[in-house]
A and B are shown apart, each in its own frame.
Chain A
């Protein structure tokens, strides 16, 4: 059974870089059946797609965040990662990593539990 787990610092200073890792178990990030996706949710607000990576290494990003975001994969560790630069208080949110399975027409079928990131000095 596929499981995802986010990890990374819970507190980041303004203007610094947010770094999170998603560890995948029960499946492989090298599978052509999946996209691997980052989603965030600011306190009391809705869901926002940040970006994704495909097994081939190709990435896509939310145009509103593209200039600050990099998503990469590490097949040896079966992990994918998010880096977001120049963070501000507006980046405070719960960050989720998810899988997007072709069988479900790329809906987000498995979610990590989420990790809270606060941007504050």
Chain B
């Protein structure tokens, strides 16, 4: 089983700042199968990035994903108030899905 570890656990930033979230895998993940989600309180997660770097439909271009192998990054170029929440990375392999433990992006 591939274990995903996200860091930091919490990121305290102000609107307009840049957010950099990390996701590290215990084994190589095919870049095609790495995704990122945003979750706000009381809501279902929303797909942001698939294939490590492709934005899902309707996702603003301030969200970008990068990385390969075991190290992946989600960057939010300029935080807007709607961007505060919890972010999860997820990988898919052998018909199984696993998630990181999440990074909370909170307003400073």
- In the complex the two chains form, is A52's CB within 8 Å of B35's CB? no
- Which chain A residues (58-77) contact chain B, with CB distance < 8 Å? 58, 60, 62-63
Please tell me which one of the listed residues A35, A48, A49, A108 contacts residue B37 in the complex, with CB atoms under 8 A apart. Answer: A108
- In the complex the two chains form, is A47's CB within 8 Å of B88's CB? yes
Instruction: For the complex, count residues of A whose C-beta is within 8 A of B.
Output: 25
- In the complex the two chains form, is B1's CB within 8 Å of A108's CB? no
A60-B96 CB under 8 A given contacts A105-B33, A108-B45: yes
List, in ascending order, chain B residues with CB within 8 A of A107's CB.
35, 47, 50-51, 56, 90, 92
Chain A CB within 8 A of B12 CB:
no
A60-B95 CB under 8 A given contacts A105-B50, A108-B35, A108-B90: yes
Kindly provide the distance from the CB of B5 to the nearest chain A CB, expressed in whole angstroms: 12
- In the complex the two chains form, is A46's CB within 8 Å of B88's CB? yes
Name 19 interchain pairs, CB-CB below 8 A, sorted by A: A46-B88, A46-B102, A47-B90, A48-B99, A49-B96, A52-B95, A52-B97, A60-B94, A60-B96, A96-B45, A105-B32, A105-B51, A106-B97, A107-B47, A108-B90, A109-B56, A111-B44, A111-B45, A114-B44
A: residues with CB less than 8 A from B are 35, 37, 39, 46-49, 52, 54, 58, 60, 62-63, 96, 100, 104-109, 111-114
